Chains A and B, each alone.
Chain A
């Protein structure tokens, strides 16, 4: 037993700081050792007793939560986070997992709190395969890639929508994001890229020449391919469609919410949101224009629908088309700013040049990094911090990695404050 206990203590001493992502005190180890003592007193083996102690370590709120302590729980004055707390924020932001030994080392000697160390760590972490988590989780949510798994195009209307195509759409969206995020191109390339990632399945869907590969390869686009950029990706176009038809409303709302951070209010209470328009004939655009005659609807739909109309050349599974219900498609549209366009290419260029776009990217990533929405009050630290991040990011060429560095060195990332007790 004595030797077994020593061994168990060695295991806990090594395991607990990793599980809790910070150094542990000897009294914390003692508490877990007490479980082992009880177990062996009940004639359990040391190994089985250790299992119980490890269960306790992993059930502890110190493991389950990312703990950030407030020395004064009721103080609203910001205080700097500890090195270990910053290491966790950074690691969960970029890797969605616990800090590695390098980060823990930099936390231990305090160097992680310096701006230049943070910059070096960002470079290192984004070069790591673990940065895939940022694509899966940030792009997965921001660009709706996570929704691709649940898209349900009607099999009778769209028999070509099969599992290999679903997989190819996911790869296309992820690989473009990864390329832009890691290779220093301006984030507006997400909209204006003159290339895409396709395998043969996707090339067929897009009417492109075969790429002779079952895995996605980078394909340069020339002429009028009607592809390139996220707004022409069939994944996005399908995720924002109904099973049997497109939804200019959903597509327009997505562009406003996700790319321009333009909040569209919810429909007023009691409104009929799915009008019976079976007696109205024409393209979907003509049908929807009919319903926008209602002033209760038009205030918001005048913002959303004209954006979606610009993407009507893509059907509910993102295939290119020139006709809807036997009539030619009019892909003219308009942004709330008044900018007029025709088709996905022009829409993408307009958004790429709109200052709301980089501001929106900064806002989305800031929110992701902190795990909360930025406060909107003009006097709040978030507002000033985010404004500074945004202008720096824009003037420095809109590189994603530059944006990451600006966020992780911002005062709101490196500090926190307590909270007044709620009434």
Chain B
């Protein structure tokens, strides 16, 4: 059995690829749910009484490197740390974020080669990706743990954005499925959430079902009827699973899990803020990368301003991104350069790229800070995480990860400093993610290999 609406998968590389499919017939393709949006309730929206808290997870591909050891990591710690060549663009916002160094995300280490895919997959799941092209097994990402906890409060439980698309099938990195290389958000261990890369589509998502005139009674009635559709689909899936082999039955179960996720949306409250719709953006001219990143930042702020969602993940690029940066004079691909071999010219280029990436993150933070919410602003009310698949693009390390934690989570998180952990303490990225979730009120969260909150992060 396979997804009827995609072509059969085909893969190209890798020897002796393990397969536990020992039966005849049927490939296995991850199921996407492209047509389910129509079930989103057309609910009326009212101004929120309390400023909501938001979470943003920002992924950069290929690690962070620069010309010196301290191109990224400040030499000194505390509030008065000296900024670095890469972090420089964020310095005007230094009170609103902190640099956290010395954390590790070691479950991102693959079995054999494949650090980029496995590291990308583990970025916010902090889980170990099972090396396979078809039988995905990872963990639930921090954003989706939040979405399960409070995603139902908004029309979209969460939003996944990126700049580069591609399917979730095929081999992207030494036997690791492209699903691992192209998605950081996972709603279940086998369920990657594909991201939107077209700005116009993001806009449509934010405003779909934005029907100010609909009455509460209409909305309730609509929900009841949508529920009857979901009940029917669930019944059909359950009856079908009895007649399918193990693997196929598992695929239908995954699909059913996705359908059940919709029930949360349908049950969700319709409280929301007032916002201005603005104009639907066109894709950046010629698919320009740098312009696309800016558009995505604008849309993230718009989505949060309109309270379409409070949880966003954003991939600046897919794993092993070969992005070029002609405006920085960088004409070779990012991944290729990231294998710098300590070549000074390549390290200098990586420093330029890192600096540029921080300019974009600073752009988002500045925009969020400009949105007033009560006596505070959107940035104050949010928590943002930035990291990569590896720390050093050449040696593919998963220790001393580049990590930024921005925003105050409504006053729950400390900011404005460089905080460093001794590598010998093996402090985990997952515990920082748990701290963020705790700060926004998710009860007792567990992310991958986490052990608990990092008390020094909490205000």
Contact = CB atoms under 8 A, between A and B. Distances in A.
A274 B339 contact: yes
Interface residues of A, number: 88
A278 B322 contact: no
A78 B24 contact: yes
A56, A61, A257, A367 — most chain B CB neighbours (10 Å): A61
Contact of A65 (B2, B11, B17): B2
A152 B2 CA distance: 33
Interface of B: 1-5, 7-17, 19-29, 31, 35-36, 38-39, 112-114, 134, 170, 174-175, 221, 224-226, 228-230, 232-233, 235-237, 240, 243-249, 251-252, 255-256, 259, 322-324, 326, 331-333, 336, 339-343, 345-346, 394-396
A186 B386 CA distance: 54
A269 B68 CA distance: 26
A98 B4 contact: yes
29 contacts: A35-B229, A35-B232, A52-B226, A55-B39, A61-B256, A65-B4, A66-B4, A67-B240, A73-B246, A92-B7, A138-B7, A141-B7, A141-B10, A152-B324, A154-B324, A258-B12, A263-B13, A263-B16, A266-B15, A266-B113, A276-B343, A276-B346, A367-B11, A371-B26, A372-B9, A372-B134, A376-B16, A416-B26, A421-B246
A58 interface: yes
Interface stretch (A36-44, A123-131, A205-213): A36-44
Nearest to B111: A269
Contacts, number: 233
Nearest to A38: B228
B195 to A, nearest CB: 16
Contacts of A258: 12
B20 A422 contact: yes
Contacts of A412: 24-25
B252 to A, nearest CB: 5
Interface string A16-39: 000001000000000110110011
A58 B39 CA distance: 12
Given A59-B230, A81-B25, 13 more contacts: A31-B232, A35-B225, A44-B225, A64-B255, A65-B252, A152-B324, A258-B12, A263-B15, A264-B13, A276-B346, A375-B22, A418-B23, A418-B245
A96 B29 CA distance: 14
Contacts of A276: 340-343, 346
A128 to B, nearest CB: 17
Contact of B339 (A59, A272, A369): A272
Given A68-B1, A371-B9, A243 B224 contact: no
Contacts of A415: 24-25
Contact of A52 (B229, B243, B331, B341): B229
Contacts of A96: 7
A372 B27 contact: yes
A31 B4 contact: no
A327 interface: no
A182 B2 CA distance: 27
A35 B231 CA distance: 10
A383 to B, nearest CB: 13
B11 A242 contact: no
Q: What are the nearest 3 A-B pairs in CB distance?
A: A371-B27, A274-B339, A416-B25
B25 A31 contact: no
Nearest to A367: B10
Contacts of A268: 112-113
B176 to A, nearest CB: 10
B25, B224, B342 — most chain A CB neighbours (10 Å): B25
Contacts of B228: 34-35, 38-39, 52
B22 A419 contact: yes
A372 B21 contact: yes
B62 to A, nearest CB: 12
Given A42-B224, A417-B24, A422-B246, A155 B326 contact: yes
A273 interface: yes
Given A66-B1, A264-B13, A157 B236 contact: no
A152 B322 contact: yes
Nearest to A377: B22
Contacts of B224: 42
B109 to A, nearest CB: 9
A415 to B, nearest CB: 6
Interface in A389-423: 412, 415-422
B4 to A, nearest CB: 5
Nearest to A416: B25
Contact of A274 (B21, B31, B336): B336
Given A63-B4, A266-B112, A70 B21 contact: no
Nearest to A369: B8
Interface string A183-196: 00000000000000
Contacts of B240: 61-62, 67
